[in-house]
Amino acid sequence: MVSPALLIAILALTACAGPRLETSGGPSETSVTLTDAGIHLTILPKAWRGYPSHLDRYYTPVELRIQNDRNDEIPVRFADFLAVDDARNQYRVVSPSEVVRALFGAHGPSADAYRRVERWMRAKPSLLAWPGPWWPYPSWPYRYWHPFYGSYYPDPFYPDPFWLARPTGYDILTLALREGRVVPGARVQGFLYFQQATRQGSFLTLTWTPTSAEGKPLTTLSSQFRIIR
């Protein structure tokens, strides 16, 4: 028997789960591999494990693995990828930096914020200037146990340290597929972030048309995925 608490947790997770992509082979098939013209493309439609975990509410992250078995280089460009659903809605790839700006804006910690904190640490007084349960003890026993430390509430007197705990787009940037050249015999992998592409339709077709260094199309690799709600 399932305990009531576990059942509630399962129902809550199910309710929070948004639409997702799935291969035609069902949940047991986690990827699709396409091969043509010496190019191998593996698509993993539900491989995102980074932060934020609910990224698929705003974008559609898809992991790609590209291997170049040709004798020439292959340019990887976001403009060469396309997603179209069965209602003929078209979705473009959004650059990782644009995704981070849209989700986090300018509120994440920056190098300038860290410099301000360092200056604050060097200039802080020997006694705390704000009355509280620690007064009038010297500053050395004081630690960052402010009730809002690490939260989204800035401290009115020492704001910088508490903003450093804000979430960042580190995973979005570091796990992304990079634009550039794939040399012969090399492989690359990373995530593409499509515009939110699972809110409409029942199927989504992902297409990549790689080109030569001169811009001539080499082939078209395409696969259809189901949209699960």
Q: Most confidently modeled of 2-6, 137-141, 151-155, 216-220?
A: 216-220
Fold of 19-103+170-228: Immunoglobulin-like (2.60.40)
Cα–Cα distance, 76 to 99 (Å, whole number): 19
pLDDT at 105: 85
For residue 11, give every residue at least 6 positions away whose Cβ sits within 8 Å of its Cβ, in sequence order, or none: none
Residue pair 31/189 in contact by the 8 Å Cβ criterion: no
pLDDT at 120: 58
149-152, long-range: CB < 8 A, 24+ apart? none
Record the pTM: 0.69
For residue 219, give every residue at least 6 positions away whose Cβ sits within 8 Å of its Cβ, in sequence order, or none: 36, 37, 39, 209, 210
Find the angle CA(126)-CA(127)-CA(133) to the nearest 5 degrees: 145
Q: Where are the domains of the chain?
A: 19-103+170-228, 109-166
Q: Tokens at residue 44, please?
A: 């993993």
Cα–Cα distance, 61 to 66 (Å, whole number): 16
Judged against a pLDDT cut of 60, whether residue 152 lies above it is answered with: no
The C-alpha torsion from 128 through 134 and 138 to 142, rounded to 10°, is: -80
Mean pLDDT of 137-143: 45
pLDDT at 112: 54
Query: Over the stretch 107-133, which tens digit does the pLDDT of each residue have?
Result: 544 545 545 555 655 665 544 444 444
Query: Over the stretch 47-102, which tens digit does the pLDDT of each residue have?
Result: 999 999 999 999 999 999 999 999 999 999 999 999 999 999 999 999 999 999 99
